[in-house]
Amino acid sequence: MEDSLRMFLALGDAVIITDEQHRIIAVNHSYERITGYAQHEIAGKKAGIVRTPFTPRLSYDQMKEAIQDGKAWSGVFTNRKKNGQLWHSSITITPFVKEESTYFVGVFRELERLERGFYLDEERIEGIQGSLLRVLAVSCEIRDPGIEEHLLRVQKLTERLVIRHNELAGLKLSERKQAQIAHSSILHDIGKSAVPEGILYKPGPLASYERKIVEMHTQIGVDILDKVNVELDDTLFEHEFATAKNIILHHHERWDGSGYPYGLSGSQIPLEARIVSVVDVFDALTSKRPYKEKWSTDGALQYLKDKSGSQFDPAIVDSFLSLYEDDSLVENELQHHQMTVTSN
């Protein structure tokens, strides 16, 4: 091993040096202390000796892609010590080329030894966020026993639509952003919890003042979310709540500017609100309610077409229609949805 690489072994963090085939050449004392493996026990073995299935595969894929391109990579690994205990570490792996040979220097910082906090991987964070938003949404609309099914259908269709629209429109939304939109869609109507039942489920047309009360649910919903956010005071939900507020406040805006609460038009309306607007109206039309009969699927799809460019973003309507026409899974889901509504 090159002498210029040995200096890394003097670092206080755990250090591992491997060759081009990822065989271990040297580790420092911190690595030995943390893992329980002495250098003579693991020298010549693959660096994956401490690997566990608890590190997301995406992390390994991103690491391999980076180092194959000759770039440094940083991330978080969940590894296993010699005694079987798990340890979480922030790691930076840097490739070095010396005399036509490539070496990799990995520097680990054990997260368990940080003075504060703990580590949650992305999958667990996403699960916690999704669960809390679902509980919040259902809790706010507990008066209607059928509302949970509606919320879950909206969430599932939003997930499919945002993926399809991202592909067709070439938006290049990250997977994280797509997940945030899907998770947050379940909160779109939490403000209706403050609307009197006599108005919310009125079988006939609403009076003008009753319509104004219903329209207030967008701002009430944001107020509810703000109160929850203040109580949590946690950055774990920062981006989810920002996305949810856009959906709650603006999912009744219309593409031509005739919606509420602010009369936004076109691209002024946040993307996530435009997406949920299409899904919410479709599910509302195809669901039986105390004040209305359900529409047929074809009738609801035709309504979306008729309102494309006035009520809805035309590109999003096109994406929704293509999702329905091309994806047999979605078609089966919609048929099942109709059967469920009919049975109720």
- The pTM of the full predicted model, rounded to 2 decimals, is 0.60
Q: Active site includes 245?
A: no
pLDDT of 231: 61
Residue of 192, 202, 227, 292 marked catalytic: 192
pLDDT band of residue 18 (cuts 50, 70, 90) is: very high
Whole-angstrom distance, CA of residue 297 vs CA of residue 288: 12
The overall average pLDDT reported for the chain is 82
Q: For residue range 192-234, list pLDDT tens digits in order.
A: 877 887 887 787 888 999 999 999 999 988 888 887 777 665 5
Residue 89, beta-bridge partner list: 77, 110
Q: For residue range 182-192, list pLDDT tens digits in order.
A: 988 988 988 88
Statement: residue 303 has pLDDT above 70: yes
Whole-angstrom distance, CA of residue 306 vs CA of residue 310: 8
Q: Span 106-123, mean pLDDT?
A: 62
Q: For residue range 228-286, list pLDDT tens digits in order.
A: 777 665 555 667 788 999 999 999 999 999 999 999 999 999 999 999 999 999 998 99
| Cβ atoms of 144 and 342 closer than 8 Å | no
pLDDT band of residue 339 (cuts 50, 70, 90) is: very low
Domains and CATH numbers, the chain: 3-113 (3.30.450.20), 122-343 (1.10.3210.10)
